[in-house]
Structure formats: structure tokens, C-alpha cells
Amino acid sequence: MKYLVTDDSKLARLSLIKSLTTCQEDAEIFQAENGELALEILKNEAVDVVFLDLTMPVMDGYTALPLLIEAKPSVKVIVVSADIQEQARLKVLNLGAIEHVKKPINPDKMKKILESLQ
Ligand SMILES: [Mg+2]
């Protein structure tokens, strides 16, 4: 599986990647620091799953989410955010995200997410 980890925080990206590789050693992982770069990578690489932060400069997650799905309808987008209020959750699910999970994602949480993808 090919994953794209999108977050403006390098630390957040590395933390998520650590959990991801703990659960799946052979995961192929791309990184983007905003929605615009994520879109570019999605168009050029066979990405299966996108982990998407909401608050980012240049292009935030709310803006990027529908564009990512439009660019690749089969892609699975998991929103990863500190803001897990019901309103934010409904908004991202309406925009096409398959899940909305709270930061940070530890290996246990990642394992459940990966299982839900199968
Ligand atoms: Mg952010």
C-alpha cells in the first residue's frame, strides 16, 4: 500500500509515520506539508490512502479533501486532527473522508485504522 502523510508539522508527520511503519513494515510513504503539495503527489503517484491534517498553510485540509477525491475517486482519505468536534467530523465525512481521527495516532490506533481499510 502507498500512503501519503499530509501535515504542516514535521513532528506530526514523523510520529504518524512511526506508527504506520510499526504496523506495516513495507508501507510506501510519501509526505506533503500542505494540501497543494498533497494534490501534486496524488496526481503523480499511485497513492492508496491519504492521512490529512486540517489546519495547514497554503491549502488546508477542508479545501484539499474534495480536490483529492476529485483527482482520484478511489483514494481513501483519513482526516487526522486535534479538532474532533462533531461538527468538524460531519463536515469532513460529508466532504468524502472515510474516517476522522484524533491526533496523535499511536500504533494501537493505527492498527485499528489499517484493519478498517481492508
Ligand atoms: Mg496543522
Q: For residue 48, what is the domain's CATH number?
A: 3.40.50.2300
* Centre of ligand 1 from the C-alpha of residue 74, in Å: 25
* Centre of ligand 1 from the C-alpha of residue 45, in Å: 23
* Centre of ligand 1 from the C-alpha of residue 33, in Å: 9
Domains identified in the chain, total number = 1
Asked whether residue 50 is assigned to any structural domain, the reply reads yes
Asked whether residue 118 is assigned to any structural domain, the reply reads no
Query: Under a CB-based contact definition with an 8 Å cutoff, are residues 117 and 75 in contact?
Result: no
Asked whether residue 94 is assigned to any structural domain, the reply reads yes
Secondary structure of the chain as H, E, C letters: CEEEEECCCHHHHHHHHHHHHHHCCCCEEEEECCHHHHHHHHHHCCCCEEEECCCCCCCCHHHHHHHHHHHCCCCEEEEEECCCCHHHHHHHHHCCCCEEEECCCCHHHHHHHHHHHC
* Centre of ligand 1 from the C-alpha of residue 78, in Å: 14
pLDDT, residue 84, reads 79
Asked whether residue 81 is assigned to any structural domain, the reply reads yes
Asked whether residue 6 is assigned to any structural domain, the reply reads yes
pLDDT, residue 83, reads 79
Is pLDDT above 90 for 114? Answer: yes
Could you list the residue range(s) of the whole structural domain that residue 75 is in? 2-113
Asked whether residue 86 is assigned to any structural domain, the reply reads yes
* Centre of ligand 1 from the C-alpha of residue 46, in Å: 24
* Centre of ligand 1 from the C-alpha of residue 118, in Å: 27
Taking only the tens place, the pLDDT of each residue in 49-97 is: 999 999 999 999 999 999 999 999 999 999 999 877 899 999 999 999 9
Is pLDDT above 90 for 4? Answer: yes
| Cα(35)–Cα(18) distance, integer angstroms | 21
* Centre of ligand 1 from the C-alpha of residue 93, in Å: 19
Neighbours of ion ligand 1 (CB under 5 A): 8, 53, 55-56
- Binned at pLDDT 50, 70 and 90, residue 118 comes out as confident
Give, rounded to a whole angstrom, the gap between the first and last alpha carbons of the chain: 11
